[in-house]
Structure 1
Amino acid sequence: MAFPDWVMLDPYVFRDGPFSDDDPTAAIGHNSRGDKVGVRFLLRAPPEPSSIFLDWEAGTGDCDDFSVVAAHRDAVLFQMGCLVSLGSSNAYKAFDYLLYRAAGAGGSSPSLDLLAPFGGSVDELKARMEADGLIRLTNQHLRRLKCLDIGVLCRDGEEFAVAELQITRSEVGPELHVLRSSTSSRKWELKRPPITPANGGSLDLEKFLWDWDADTVIPFGSYLCWVDYCLGIIFCDMFDENPQLHYLEFPADVRGACFGGCCQAVGVTNGVMKLVSLVPDDGLIAENYTPESGFTIVCWTLRIDEMDKMVWEKDAVLKSDYLWSMLKPDFLWPLDEFPFITTNRFPRVQFPLISIDDSSVIYLVLAQNGRVEEAGYNYDETWLLAIDMSKMTLKMSFPYIEDEMGDPSPEMLAFAEDKFWRFEPFLAADFSRHFNLRCPRHVEVWLQTFGPAERTPIRRHLCEEVFVVLKGKGILVLKYTGQPREIPVFQNSIFMVPVNDPHQVVYVGFILVGCAIYIKVWNSDEHEVRICSSIY
């Protein structure tokens, strides 16, 4: 079994369980109430998103929620919210943070550990209630409800830091709450770091504290970076005993001309920070972009110049007209599955994401007007696009929410409804490459017989797939770039489909266009073709 090097983690959490004992991604832990909690993942290579599954039998209350917050290296940080009884009729929405580690020490299985309580234990909350008669809800508490301001950072070995940065409009200034594994107590520490411009100069602190509203937190080297998509980035070295906050503005072209994560993204590719922005041609802030609203996709790279200053360097530009021209049937695979772009369907692009392993590739969400069904649920037809900004080409597309859902399960109905009303950005994460997989968990071998004009469904797997032609002859068609390359296959031929590459066994004369491997087997002698496939 092999997993992709990185994933687009879908923030939607599916309720599931109990988990199979042989699931290599599953981990079990407990929250502060003592509830048993299990987490597992279904991992797929982008642009297909990866899914989170939760086993929380006791989490049936209206206020019991579970969210993915951040990820770095082998770690994924989750936030659990639940009501805590504080006596008589009083209750308080408390938060637990659980840290998932894909790779345990000594080659062990994944773990799910409860971190020290942030904001006080249940006993401490009860003591405050008895002393003051109430617990005030602060603005920061409300921001935690939205999983804002907190991130995780890992470095060599199992060392990690989790931090929340509170920016308040007060004379107190920024408050940095840090939990580091290297401290003996593993408790939260409060620090009050100064904030200064990253490249020197002055900063109107009063105005900055008033305007700042972080959208996400990104790990970068030894830094956690708090990102306000309308302003810029705050860098903080999390392993410095006396941390400081360094503020870097976004380029003037994109600063303030955005609608949060709907049209901008910051990411790190091979140690380099990137920024991608959908910039409206008319300068008006928009939540999404359609063929009628001209815009430009602009990519920037953070560099250090000869004066040792941090600067944004523009390195790729793609106009919206060219983007829409890409979305034609002959660019896509499979040909008959991609939705045609029509103005009466109001297509729109949103939520850019930057590839972790290829600095030239970005991902976009393409949605078209949804359906309001008699069954009472709503959904948009939604595709995920992988675009190579250096070659100005569409690499791949994936049908995320399809036009015809058939007869979906209640869980899929809840998923589609949630996405219709509250679509959230995907989380780029590479914990998938850190699992301790020393040997295949299982081997599956099957035998299939094909007659003339037969084909398999289009498939791809999170494993290598090896084919052996036992009888007959045909053609193996490989399509990466340019024209397809046809390779004859015949009895005793052996060929392999790499992990997660779309593939299909079809008859001769059917050539699909796309960045993938396609397999065509035919029968010129009117004899059957028999293929043996081994999956491991």
Structure 2
Amino acid sequence: MTKRSRSSRRARANQLDTAAAAATTYPPWVLLHRSCTAVAPGSSIADRNTQAAGHTTTGLPIAVSICVAPPPEGSRVCVQHPDGVQSTSDVVAAHGDSVLIKVSSLGRVTDHFIYNAFDAAAVTPRPPALLLLPVCYLDRDGTGLLRRGEDEFVVAELRIGYDNTTRMAAGELRLLRSGEWRATRPRVSHDGGEGKDFPSTWHNDTVIPVGDELLCWADMRHGLIFSKAFDESPGLRYVPLPKDHNFGQTVFRNVCVTAGGGTVKFVNIFPRCCCGGPSRSNCRLSEHAYTVHTWTLNMDDMTWVMDGILDSAYFWALDSYKGLPRVKLEYPVVSFDEPDVICFLVRGCNHVKNSGSTVWTIAVDMRSKTLQSVFRYPNVQGSKSWQNIRPSRVSDYFNSKPSSLKPDSTQEQTMIC
């Protein structure tokens, strides 16, 4: 066989793969588990239509694909290494058509890749690609990814410290833009007034992109820090979370983007006494009673507006809830497209993380007070990374006609960091 005919066959195979991918219908958004799944070469688990190949810093071949499932079931990023190579891989961040992945090989350097989905709706569809980033240690809880346009992206890591001289909070912001890392130390600005001072301690729980201009670092005990990461000298602005009761654990609250990625929502699940008050109940019948509150952030003046309440008594009484345990919900995640729909984790054996527990993920419409869908995990091990689940639109880029919902970046333009 001549070199030309082999090249023609490979090109034809690529065209067929692209056509098959375009014919497959993928959900408009997915929930990506943090832990990636290691797959053997040629494994049937990986979706070939979503596969991208590359090499590590040490020259080893690597392939990444996405095993897509509609929410509330989680989706997985699959990482393929040569036989005999041991490694661990995690999803660090996601935005638009891209996912930031950390790959750590035992005894070797830790690499970071940006997986980029192809756009099946483009005039000339391109296959998924894998970009190896310059070597740098990154804190996975404090690192975010922001995409803009077709080729622009920024990777940003934030660490918060305090200037002993000025007695003010200062951030160390490391940015990867145009292939180079650089660091800046902007101060953290925030509105004055009682209850709005910057907290004495800060811990990054998650980082979310807002529209295509802002990154938002969230400490679930205190608040949010926004930054226009594409600016030449990006600043930092602190916005406290709404004052509310909580269980004292971050598993019962979360900050997410919705309505296509341009709206910020806060979800908090707190205990309700049998008398209706906001505290734990000593009554056995209402031991696990709770109330879910939701707020939306007004980006014009950076204030929170409460827009949803759901009580466990109403929820448990639904016919569609029969068969599910009456326990506290955990790990809320707002739908990327629908602001009133929230996914939760439900443990069959309340908060007992052993092999005998049964775990479900459910999707709830806060406005209609209905249970939309339920997914039961086959074993508790498969649900462990739900606590670090990340919403992503990457799946929509595999469709021939991507969703009409696009990130609304008009609101956040008025905020000055």
The bucket for the TM-score relative to the shorter chain is: 0.7 to 0.9
Change (3 A) 1:398 1:419: closer
The residue aligned with 1:317 is 309
After TM superposition, the structure 1 = structure 2 runs for residues 297-316 of structure 1, keeping only pairs within 5 Å, are: 297-304=292-299, 308-316=300-308
The residue aligned with 1:36 is 61
- Cα distance in 2 for residues equivalent to 1:275 and 1:400: 26
Q: Per the alignment, in what secondary structure is the counterpart of residue 317 of structure 2?
A: helix
- Cα distance in 1 for residues equivalent to 2:157 and 2:117: 23
2:320 equivalent to 1:331: yes
How far did 1:201 drift? 5.4
After TM superposition, the structure 1 = structure 2 runs for residues 314-463 of structure 1, keeping only pairs within 5 Å, are: 314-326=306-318, 330-331=319-320, 339-341=323-325, 347-369=327-349, 378-401=355-378, 416-417=380-381, 419=383, 424-435=387-398, 437=400
Alpha-carbon contact 1:264-1:278 (below 8 Å) kept: no
How far did 1:60 drift? 4.2
Aligned residue among 220, 230, 242 for 1:251: 242
2:102 equivalent to 1:102: no
The residue aligned with 2:30 is 7
After TM superposition, the structure 1 = structure 2 runs for residues 114-513 of structure 1, keeping only pairs within 5 Å, are: 114-119=132-137, 144=139, 147-169=140-162, 171=164, 173-180=170-177, 183=178, 186-197=179-190, 199=191, 208=199, 210-221=200-211, 222-253=213-244, 258-270=248-260, 271-281=262-272, 292-304=287-299, 308-326=300-318, 330-331=319-320, 339-341=323-325, 347-369=327-349, 378-401=355-378, 416-417=380-381, 419=383, 424-435=387-398, 437=400
How far did 1:260 drift? 1.8
Bigger drift between 2-11 and 239-248 goes to 2-11
- Cα distance in 2 for residues equivalent to 1:272 and 1:355: 11
- Cα distance in 2 for residues equivalent to 1:155 and 1:291: 48
- Cα distance in 1 for residues equivalent to 2:302 and 2:328: 33
Letter in structure 1 aligned against 2:229: M
Letter in structure 2 aligned against 1:429: S
Alpha-carbon contact 1:78-1:99 (below 8 Å) kept: yes
Identical aligned residues as a percent? 31
2:71 equivalent to 1:46: yes
Gaps of 5+ in 2: 1-23, 402-417
Instruction: Provide Cα deviations, 1:119-157, integer angstroms capped at 9, x if missing partner.
Output: 5xxxxxxxxxxxxxxxxxxxxx7xx3xx21001011112
Instruction: Provide Cα deviations, 1:26-82, integer angstroms capped at 9, x if missing partner.
Output: 111222222221111121221222222221236744xx3210111100000111224
Alpha-carbon contact 1:268-1:356 (below 8 Å) kept: yes
**Given the two structures, how large is their TM-score scaled by the length of structure 1?**
0.61
Alpha-carbon contact 1:102-1:110 (below 8 Å) kept: yes
How far did 1:331 drift? 1.5
Change (3 A) 1:340 1:317: closer
- Cα distance in 2 for residues equivalent to 1:22 and 1:354: 26
Alpha-carbon contact 1:11-1:425 (below 8 Å) kept: yes
Gaps of 5+ in 1: 86-93, 120-140, 333-337, 403-415, 439-536
How far did 1:369 drift? 1.9
Choose between structure 1 and 2 for higher RCO, CA contacts under 8 A separated by at least 6 residues: 2
Change (3 A) 1:54 1:160: same
Alpha-carbon contact 1:107-1:436 (below 8 Å) kept: no
Letter in structure 1 aligned against 2:184: K
How far did 1:22 drift? 7.9
- Cα distance in 1 for residues equivalent to 2:157 and 2:279: 32
Alpha-carbon contact 1:360-1:389 (below 8 Å) kept: yes
**Given the two structures, how large is their TM-score scaled by the length of structure 2?**
0.77
Change (3 A) 1:434 1:200: farther
Alpha-carbon contact 1:265-1:277 (below 8 Å) kept: no
What RMSD in Å do the two structures reach over aligned CA positions? 3.1
Instruction: Provide Cα deviations, 1:319-358, integer angstroms capped at 9, x if missing partner.
Output: 12222223xxx326xxxxx73537xxxx442111100111
Alpha-carbon contact 1:67-1:79 (below 8 Å) kept: yes
Q: Per the alignment, in what secondary structure is the counterpart of residue 188 of structure 1?
A: strand
The residue aligned with 1:112 is 130
Q: Per the alignment, in what secondary structure is the counterpart of residue 316 of structure 2?
A: helix
- Cα distance in 2 for residues equivalent to 1:2 and 1:97: 29
Alpha-carbon contact 2:270-2:292 (below 8 Å) kept: yes
How far did 1:200 drift? 5.2
How far did 1:83 drift? 4.8
Change (3 A) 1:163 1:58: farther
Change (3 A) 1:203 1:176: farther
Instruction: Provide Cα deviations, 1:175-213, integer angstroms capped at 9, x if missing partner.
Output: 100012xx3xx111101112101x4559997x63x4110
Greater Cα radius of gyration, structure 1 or 2: 1
